[in-house]
């Protein structure tokens, strides 16, 4: 693991999302933590056996809501900072991360959308977003999301 935790490590909360390939679910979770956490959450994702690529369906699905996932990279657990994370979530793929220190851990048991048709992939994407928002609230209110996301997801204008 790397030894850097980012420029604002004292004020930011550190979230990590883990899956086997780090190409779909964990990547989308990292993106949603960045979207909804703003500057208060430093988000990471990693895989136990990273594929080295981001799934094109994940890129397309996130592009629909205005997020460019193509800039992300599939990473291994050895490439994340060597810190105690405030929150670690595994995506339900059986990954255990005993060497990743965390104050809070959850296994979300989210189905792998890799082979799903676009509409079902979107359903998984939206489930991941909901799951990411929940622990974000533990560390303070989620900043307002953009009108574009409100329109896309049919959220109330004053999201908590």
Structurally, at CATH architecture level, domain 13-153 sits in 3-Layer(aba) Sandwich (3.40)
User: How far apart are the C-alpha atoms of 30 and 91, rounded to whole Å?
Assistant: 12
Please give the positions annotated as active site.
19, 93, 97
pLDDT tens for residues 136-149?
A: 877 665 554 443 34
Summarised one tens digit per residue, pLDDT across range 66-109 is 999 999 999 999 999 999 999 999 998 765 566 788 999 999 99
β-partners of residue 76 are 47
Q: How many CB atoms lie within 10 A of CB 115?
A: 8
Measured distance CA(88)–CA(76) in Å, rounded: 15
Length of the chain: 160
Q: Give residue limits of the domains in the chain.
A: 13-153
Q: What is the pTM of this model?
A: 0.81
């Amino acid at each position: 693991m790397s030894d850097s935790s980012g420029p604002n490590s004292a004020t930011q909360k550190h979230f990590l999302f883990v899956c086997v390939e780090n190409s779909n679910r964990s990547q989308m979770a990292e993106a949603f933590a960045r979207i909804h956490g703003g500057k208060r959450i430093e988000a990471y994702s990693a895989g136990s056996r990273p594929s080295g690529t981001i799934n094109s369906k994940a890129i397309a699905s996130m592009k629909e809501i205005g997020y460019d996932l193509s800039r992300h990279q599939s990473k291994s657990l050895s490439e994340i900072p060597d810190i105690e994370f405030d929150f670690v979530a595994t995506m339900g793929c059986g990954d255990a991360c005993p060497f990743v220190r965390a104050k809070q851990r959850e296994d979300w048991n989210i189905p792998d959308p890799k082979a799903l048709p676009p509409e079902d992939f979107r359903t998984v994407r939206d489930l991941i977003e909901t799951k990411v928002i929940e622990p974000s609230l533990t560390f303070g209110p989620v900043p307002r999301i953009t009108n574009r996301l409100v329109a896309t997801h049919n959220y109330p204008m004053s999201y908590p």
